[in-house]
Amino acid sequence: MAESNADETLGGNVPRYESNALNSQIIHIGSFRNVWLETLPPDLYSYETKSEEIENAQFAELLEIPTETLNELKDICSVDSLKSHSDDDQPVDTSVVPPDPELACLRLRKKRQDYKETLVRDNLGRHDNYSNEMESVHLGLMPEDSTSVVPAGEIVLSFNIIYPVIFERFKHVRAYQTLQVLGSQKLTELRDAICCVSDLQVFGEFSNTPDATPQYISKDHYKSAFFYFEGVFYNDMRYPECRDISETTREWAKTRDYPEFKTAKMEDTTFYDLRMKIGYPYFYCHQGDCEHVMVLTDIRLIHADDCRDRTLYPLLVHKHRVITRKCCVCHLYISRWITTNDRLAPMDPCLFCDKCFRMLHYDDQGNKLYDFQAYAYVDPGVFN
């Protein structure tokens, strides 16, 4: 009975996870933030840091013990008291594991150390060591302009952007971007921050004019896109050439007795206006049929350790490294061209770097040697 009364008081805006513990129920982002601000005292989410004396006094009051007792406990439980040697002795090398450890964690560590010693490359674990480098570089970053400071009490949402499933070999879900956005930002700001190789593609056949400079990329010409959140299609309609590309899906749904979907403009909607589930897959579509699953993984209040420069949001905090596709001739340089109906190519279609492409298909004067089709190729590794 008390639980139902609490739900009615909070208006159902606090995330309550469903039975499978994978995603929460639907919450309104703006109302969720208001409940937080009404429940928490301002000093818990403000940027001001308390002095150590004040924190000790408050902690002692919470534990209902004298301050002297708390100081004694801090001395007993400090890291210095856990040392197995004095400061005067030679410190123990913690990276060395005994030959026959009894603890399971030490046996695993010993096995990993022995495996690393067999590797030739010295920098094999660089990506593991710097997997959180993009996030840590922005910790506590302050803007030069005071008007760009994110106000205290702002909501930070974390989104995982998944690779588009365009190949049969893509059988595993991979998040290639993790972006943090502010609750007060427009949906268009997240849309512009999402990087996809299909936005960089150049249309046209260039075998006769390989030196021609493309006039535009796909993102400049095909600007239509939409997000789908809880029965609403949010379309990007900022430019005259934008179209409602969700119309086909909505018309199809009407013929299948689905509930009627609503539409809204992406540029008029902030994240505070959304109703979403935490941990639930949603949908982003651009370039007509390039479809990405995106998952809201976290909602929290901003704190002093976060980046407080509003101009840097949406903030890219993680990026998956992609294996680049090399030229099929030299196997050294990244591919820049893809050919079809090419009788000298070992496969169809075939990838070439710029140097091998020109040496194989053109003479010294730049004339085409035989009939084939060539298209500009953008490797996904450009985002590395």
Of 7, 23, 36, 39, nearest to 272 by C-alpha is 36
C-alpha distances in angstroms, 118 versus 122, 124, 292, 340, 384? 11, 12, 39, 43, 27
Tell me the per-residue pLDDT of 107-127, one tens digit each, with 9 for 90 and over: 888 888 888 777 655 444 454
Q: What is the mean pLDDT of residues 361-371?
A: 87
Q: Which pLDDT score, from 0 to 100, does residue 258 have?
A: 85
- What band does 8 get if pLDDT is binned at 50, 70 and 90? very low
Neighbours of 183 (CB within 10 A): 21
Neighbours of 47 (CB within 10 A): 16
**Rounded distance, CA 85 to CA 80, Å?**
10
Is the Cβ–Cβ distance between 341 and 348 less than 8 Å? Answer: yes
Is the Cβ–Cβ distance between 262 and 290 less than 8 Å? Answer: no
Is the Cβ–Cβ distance between 219 and 199 less than 8 Å? Answer: yes
Query: Model's pTM, two decimal places?
Result: 0.73
Q: Which pLDDT score, from 0 to 100, does residue 124 have?
A: 43
Coil, strand or helix at 180: strand
Coil, strand or helix at 281: strand
Q: What is the mean pLDDT of residues 196-216?
A: 81
Q: Is the pLDDT of residue 2 over 50?
A: no
Higher pLDDT, 222 or 80: 222
Q: What is the mean pLDDT of residues 79-101?
A: 70
Domain ranges of the chain: 1-47+130-203+212-321, 337-383
Of 197, 249, 199, 254, nearest to 224 by C-alpha is 199
Tell me the per-residue pLDDT of 124-161, one tens digit each, with 9 for 90 and over: 445 444 556 666 777 778 888 878 888 888 999 999 99
Q: Which pLDDT score, from 0 to 100, does residue 120 have?
A: 57
